[in-house]
Amino acid sequence: MTQELLIAFGALGLILLGMDWMSNGLKTATGPKFLAALEHWTTTPRRGVLFGTTATIAVQSSSAITVATIGFVNAGVLPLERAAFVIYGSNVGTSLTGWFIALVGIELKIDAFALPLLGFGALLKLFSSSAQRRGLGEALIGFAALFLGLSYLKTGFDASGISLDFAILQQGGLGALLIAVLIGTVLTTLMQASVAVIALVLTAVSTAGLDLTIAAGFVIGANLGTTSTAIMSTLAATANAKRLAWLHVLFNVVTALVAVLLVAPILNLIAWLEQSLSISSTPAVSLALFHSLFNVLGVCLLWPMTKPLVRWLNRRFTEKPSQLKYVDANSLLMPDTALRALTMEQLEQISQLLQHVLPLSRGIKPDEKALQPVLQTQKQLADFLRQLGQSTLSARQSRLMVLLSNSQLRIETVLQLIPKIDLALGDHNEHFKLEVALWQTLAEPDYQSVEFKRVYRNYLKGVELQKQAIYRHAVFGQLNHSKASQLLLAIHELKRMNIQMLKAFAGLRKALQQSSPSE
């Protein structure tokens, strides 16, 4: 028996590895297409649920979809309310994966085509020049590993002949069901993959005689355990990430409570349907149907409550002044999402810099200490850029990385130049009138507008006029040469600061356009 249990343990490892390879490979294969689909196919609640369901079936990991969706919300690709329905759909998608395992993984001899699939995937992974094809190859290797893992898991249970009728669970009742829910939750939290736990339970209920009601408790626990990924993803996360993660937690907790309370009626309904329709079913299929039914029931219950929940979560979690608004560790899981989020964050930094320089028109010099939070944020963003640079990027993504890195350096230059602004210039340039006009246009959404170009040209002309005026004052003795040199240097530094800010702003706007899903 020990040998068979070790085989089952190794099979579980194959399932986990296969799911990880599938998830990573499909994300690489889809690339920016996934981002575009997310924007275009989540415009209504019904589409959001459908997209979440389909994406989870494709990637074979609701946890991956949850974390990716959090990244999309951070990056401004997806509003929180639309993201909620994607999360609902991901839970339904996980339950449909159970159908695949019950109908194919357990009933058919899947190892017969797992090895050919593995060979084909290896050829694509090792010899293809395209990143998308290599990703597809990795996904096929993952599918093959999953199939082999399910085959060995079934073999392990069949050969051992063990019974999973644990004494404490044989007593039945609500207590036994809750223990099963707890075990399922803990196993999913440890494995970080509810599909692996569901595969284990479906195999056990088919080959090891596990009671169907207790198996239902394990499935409920597996469903509930997926919230651990969402909770862990909110550590040091943005307010948006926390809102969506806790919405996921609320959905799964409500669904689990309903499933526990209605487990007997739902199983009786399934038995009645199978009998009435003369369907020859297996315990694994019945359990897969149970999993789907209680998730669909959860979607129906939470659907009308989504808007009030979103409003409550918006009030519950707010941004801290020093906290990043768009970027956290979740954003880095998909390069396209990360690039968009980093672009949005740097634009936010320019907006904060403008708040520090606009008071110059009132004779208030920027406080160097007040700039420290912005400087600290820049260090955080530089670290995120470094981490993203270590990922595998396409040629388009690499070009966007260059734009972001250049803008990052320009913003840091601006930070160094702001404290050096000489207030004495205010007496020679109408209290920074031209500069203020230029800074205010940076808040406009279209930096290519005619108004922006006109203000910029006026600023450059105004700078030349200021310099000519200082030259004249120095020649006719109205300014001593030392003071004139000081003012000319101050004009040069201020112009340099503005040009660096404008170049950073223009680069970020270009990056934002190129990182949009429609591109």
Q: What is the pLDDT of residues 378-405, one digit of tens each?
A: 888 888 888 888 877 778 888 889 999 9
| Average confidence score pLDDT of the chain | 78
Q: Is the dihedral of CA 302, 308, 311, 315 positive or negative?
A: negative
Residue 418's nearest CA partner among 477, 359, 334 is 359
* Least confident stretch, 171-185, 275-289, 435-449: 435-449
> How crowded is residue 389: how many other Cβ atoms within 10 Å of its Cβ?
12
* pLDDT (average), residues 1-27: 68
Q: Which residue has the higher pLDDT, 361 or 384?
A: 384
How far CA 313 is from CA of 77, 80, 242, 249, 250, in Å, comes to: 19, 10, 9, 12, 11
Average pLDDT, integer, range 69-98: 80
Confidence of residue 410 (pLDDT cuts 50, 70, 90): very high
Q: Could you tell me if 205 and 214 are in contact, meaning their C-beta atoms sit under 8 angstroms apart?
A: no
Q: Please, which residues have CB within 8 angstroms of residue 91's CB and are 6 or more apart in sequence?
A: 52, 56, 62, 223, 226, 251, 252, 255, 295, 298, 299
* Burial of 90 (C-beta count, 10 Å sphere; 0-12/13-18/19+): buried
Q: List, as one string, the DSSP characters of 47-87.
A: HHHHHHHHHHHHHT-HHHHHHHHHHHHHTTSS-HHHHHHHH
Tokens 């490979």 sit on residue: 25
Could you give the CA distance from residue 156 to residue 52 in angstroms, rounded to a whole number?
A: 34
The top-scoring range by mean pLDDT among 221-225, 253-257, 415-419 is 253-257
Instruction: Report if pTM > 0.75.
Output: no
Place of tokens 């490892």: 13
Helix, strand or coil for residue 443?
coil
Instruction: Give the model's pLDDT for residue 171.
Output: 61
pLDDT of res. 165: 47
Give mean pLDDT, residues 428-445: 74
Beta strands in 18-136 (DSSP E): none
Give the single-character DSSP code of 103.
Answer: I
Bin 257: left if φ > 0, else alpha if -120 < ψ < 50, else beta.
alpha
Contacts of residue 58, Cβ cutoff 8 Å, sequence gap at least 6: 26
pLDDT bracket for residue 233 (50, 70, 90): low
The residue type at 60: Q
pLDDT score of 152 more than 80: no
Residue 172 has pLDDT above 80, yes or no: no
Q: List the single range of 76-80, 116-120, 233-237 with lowest mean pLDDT.
A: 233-237
Cβ count near 472 (within 10 Å): 12
Cβ neighbors of 2 (< 8 A, separation 6 or more) are none
Rounded to 5 degrees, what are φ and ψ at 61?
A: -160, 105
pLDDT of residue 406: 92
Q: How confident is the model at residue 445 (pLDDT cuts 50, 70, 90)?
A: low
pLDDT exceeds cutoff 70 at 320? no
Cα torsion angle, 28, 24, 144, 48, sign = negative
Is the pLDDT assigned to residue 164 strictly greater than 50?
Answer: no
DSSP 366: P
- pLDDT for the residue 160: 47
DSSP annotation of 120 reads H
Answer positive or negative: Cα dihedral of 445, 447, 449, 451.
positive
Exposure class string for 267-299: b at 16+ Cβ within 10 A, else e: beebeeeeeeeeeebebbbbbbbbbbbbbbbbb
Q: What angle do CA 294, 108, 269 make, to 5 degrees?
A: 25
Task: Read off the pLDDT of each residue in 228-256 and give the average, rounded to a whole number.
Answer: 78
pLDDT at 230: 67
Q: Does the pLDDT of residue 424 top 80, yes or no?
A: no
Q: pLDDT category, 168, cuts 50, 70, 90?
A: low
Res. 163: pLDDT tops 50: no
To the nearest whole percent, how much of the chain has pLDDT over 90? 2
Percent pLDDT > 70 in the chain is 76
For the cut 70, the answer to whether the pLDDT of residue 471 exceeds it is: yes
Chain Cα centroid distance, residue 92? 19
| 34-46 residue pLDDT tens | 656 666 677 788 8
- At 383, is the secondary structure helix, strand, or coil? helix
| Contact yes or no for 312/488 (Cβ under 8 A) | no
pLDDT(449) > 70: no
Tokens of 482: 């030392």
User: Side-chain half-sphere of 361: how many Cα atoms within 13 Å?
Assistant: 12
What's the burial of 424, exposed, middle or buried (CB within 10 Å: 0-12/13-18/19+)? exposed
pLDDT greater than 80 at residue 376 = yes
The more confidently predicted of residues 501 and 129 is: 501
Q: In this structure, how many other beta carbons lie within 10 angstroms of the beta carbon of residue 374?
A: 20
